[in-house]
């Protein structure tokens, strides 16, 4: 077959990942498994890179979306940095080859140990989320005899439309960032503290933001804060505009208009003498991934039809957690249509991938592709119901490789102690 620009093209009635039939991978690796298109990830990264080519910028992939080392390495080779939110992500970033300069450290609750590790690895910026955290960073840096490069994450307090409450972050009353009215005071404190250098200001408005309005509203607020803190004598080199670019989940939904997004940000910030930092996660990897699962059973109960799959909410939690929509397609063309709930094997009624969905008339043994699962899929997977986490596979052209082995039962109990070493109180 000729290689298409579609990550998962359908050719001759079969769904492919780039040039490899999904059924070939499922037969070789088993199900459920996550399958990623390497060239789609590259294309998404390049798309964003080109949109900002005219101004100083650096893309820091939000690796919470997908922290598979193979994907991180692929992005690292393309020149990306990362946005991390934990010591574990710092460890992964280092394993994948990112240097400290490629790393910005976000997150609302960094521990002393995590701050120490970030300083030891000389990260580009630690994004400060509260006054208490600022004081802690100063103390940790002081104890190490260094000056911590920091940015303040500003909560611009704009109204944000997202498909689910849980993915809003830049609104008033959220736990994230420092409210814009408090930033001047906290920046003054940073000026007085000897072991921090305030080099940047940032924001992240939320995820899956489909229109430019929140950014249009928030940017001037962020720039007002730049003016305020520059007046205090801070040298602000970086402006972090966060992530949040929307991707289509349901058929017909558009991919975020990157050029509009870039034009808006570039026009507002061009004359401010800052390097832009971007923290996209979903946009880079979401539609580059699909979760392949096998139908275990068809079931008819209380007037409803169910398709029971071998993947459950432990493998992909987004439908249960966010009521997220994911397109579900049969891997092989199948005649007929049924209206069903697609459910997993987990003992929870929240364990579903779709409700009352019109689906191809699939039967036990058939493969289904749960689409647009490259972001917040595997990274949110768990061992609930003592289920080993699935395998991850990377496809590049006509070849594929397992990049994360399927967990084994032994892995489930690896950290548990058979012989307890009791300690006295």
Ligand X SMILES: Cc1ncc(COP(=O)(O)O)c(C=O)c1O
**Residue 62 class from Cβ within 10 Å (0-12 exposed, 13-18 middle, 19+ buried)?**
buried
For the segment 200-229, give every residue that binds ligand X (CB under 6 A).
204, 207
For the segment 244-273, give every residue that binds ligand X (CB under 6 A).
244-245
Radius of gyration of the chain, Cα coordinates, nearest whole angstrom: 23
CB neighbour list of residue 273: distance below 8 Å, 6 or more residues apart:
none
The answer to whether 347 is a known catalytic residue is yes
How many residues would you count in the chain?
425
Q: Does 340 bind ligand X (CB under 6 A)?
A: no
Which residue, 310, 307, 313, is CA-closest to 292? 310
Q: Does 168 bind ligand X (CB under 6 A)?
A: no
Q: Does 106 bind ligand X (CB under 6 A)?
A: yes
What is the dihedral angle through the alpha carbons of 76, 78, 82, 88, rounded to the nearest 10 degrees? -20
Considering the complex, what minimum distance in angstroms separates the CB of residue 120 from ligand X?
22
Q: State which residue, 29 or 201, has the beta carbon closest to ligand X.
A: 201
* Choices 113-121, 135-143, 186-194, 238-246 (CB under 6 A): range interacting with ligand X: 238-246
Considering the complex, what minimum distance in angstroms separates the CB of residue 420 from ligand X?
38
Considering the complex, what minimum distance in angstroms separates the CB of residue 230 from ligand X?
23
Choose, from 192, 301, 302, 347, the residue flagged as catalytic: 347
CA 416 to mean position of chain CA atoms: 30
Q: Does 377 bind ligand X (CB under 6 A)?
A: no
What does each C-alpha distance from 380 to 66, 317, 373 come to in angstroms? 9, 7, 11
Report how far residue 217's alpha carbon sits from residue 258's, in angstroms, rounded to the nearest whole number.
18
Considering the complex, what minimum distance in angstroms separates the CB of residue 211 from ligand X?
14
* Choices 128-136, 281-289, 327-335, 336-344 (CB under 6 A): range interacting with ligand X: 281-289
Q: Does 280 bind ligand X (CB under 6 A)?
A: yes
| Rounded (10°) angle between helices 112-120 and 131-144 | 50
Considering the complex, what minimum distance in angstroms separates the CB of residue 186 from ligand X?
18
Q: Does 318 bind ligand X (CB under 6 A)?
A: no
Backbone angles phi, psi at 25, to 5 degrees: -65, -45
Report how far residue 33's alpha carbon sits from residue 101's, in angstroms, rounded to the nearest whole number.
34
Q: Does 126 bind ligand X (CB under 6 A)?
A: no
Q: Does 279 bind ligand X (CB under 6 A)?
A: yes
Considering the complex, what minimum distance in angstroms separates the CB of residue 181 from ligand X?
21
Q: State which residue, 47 or 406, has the beta carbon closest to ligand X.
A: 47
CB neighbour list of residue 39: distance below 8 Å, 6 or more residues apart:
7, 18, 396, 397
Which of 156, 242, 312, 377 touches ligand X (CB under 6 A)?
242
Kindly state the helix (H) or strand (E) to which residue 301 belongs, with its residue range. strand 289-301
Q: Does 83 bind ligand X (CB under 6 A)?
A: yes
| Rounded (10°) angle between helices 213-231 and 183-192 | 40
Residues in contact with ligand X, counted by CB under 6 A, come to a total of 16
Q: State which residue, 204 or 387, has the beta carbon closest to ligand X.
A: 204
* Choices 70-78, 229-237, 242-250, 399-407 (CB under 6 A): range interacting with ligand X: 242-250
Residue with tokens 């459910």: 343
Considering the complex, what minimum distance in angstroms separates the CB of residue 127 from ligand X?
7
List interacting residues with ligand X (CB under 6 A). Answer: 62, 65, 83, 106, 204, 207, 242-245, 279-283, 375
Residues tagged active-site: 347
């Amino acid at each position: 077959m000729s290689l298409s620009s579609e990550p998962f093209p359908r050719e001759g009635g079969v769904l492919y990942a780039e040039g490899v039939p999904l059924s070939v991978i499922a037969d070789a690796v088993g199900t459920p498994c996550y399958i990623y298109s390497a060239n789609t990830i590259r294309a998404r990264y390049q798309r964003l890179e080109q949109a900002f080519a005219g101004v100083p910028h650096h893309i820091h992939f939000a690796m919470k979306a997908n922290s598979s080392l193979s994907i991180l390495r692929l992005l690292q080779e393309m020149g990306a940095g990362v946005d991390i939110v934990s010591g574990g992500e710092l460890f992964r970033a280092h394993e994948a080859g990112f240097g400290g300069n490629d790393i910005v450290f976000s997150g609302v609750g960094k521990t002393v140990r995590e701050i120490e590790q970030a300083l030891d690895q000389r990260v580009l910026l630690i994004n400060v989320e509260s006054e208490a955290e600022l004081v802690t960073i100063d103390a940790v840096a002081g104890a190490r005899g260094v000056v911590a490069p920091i940015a303040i994450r500003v909560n611009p307090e704009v109204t944000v439309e997202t498909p689910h409450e849980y993915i809003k972050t830049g609104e008033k009353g959220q736990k994230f960032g420092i409210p814009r009215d408090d930033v001047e005071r906290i920046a003054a404190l940073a000026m007085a503290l000897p072991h921090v250098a305030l080099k940047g200001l940032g924001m992240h408005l939320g995820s899956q933001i489909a229109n430019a309005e929140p950014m249009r509203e928030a940017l001037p607020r962020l720039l007002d804060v730049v003016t305020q803190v520059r007046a205090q004598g801070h040298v602000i080199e970086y402006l972090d505009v966060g992530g949040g670019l929307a991707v289509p989940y349901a058929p017909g939904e558009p991919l975020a208009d990157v050029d509009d997004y870039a034009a808006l940000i570039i026009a507002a910030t061009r004359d401010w003498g800052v390097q832009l930092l971007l923290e996209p996660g979903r946009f880079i990897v979401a539609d580059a991934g699909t979760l392949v699962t096998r139908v275990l059973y068809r079931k008819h109960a209380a007037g409803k039809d169910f398709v029971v799959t071998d993947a459950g909410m432990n493998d992909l939690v987004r439908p249960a957690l966010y009521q997220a929509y994911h397109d579900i397609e049969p891997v092989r063309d199948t005649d007929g249509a049924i209206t069903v709930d697609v459910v997993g094997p987990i003992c929870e009624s929240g364990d579903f991938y779709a409700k009352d969905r019109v689906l191809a008339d699939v039967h036990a043994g058939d493969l289904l592709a749960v689409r647009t699962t490259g972001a917040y899929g595997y990274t949110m997977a768990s061992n609930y119901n003592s289920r080993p986490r699935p395998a991850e596979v990377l496809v590049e052209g006509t070849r594929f490789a397992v990049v994360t082995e399927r967990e084994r039962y032994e892995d489930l109990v690896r950290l548990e102690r058979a012989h307890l070493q009791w300690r006295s109180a």
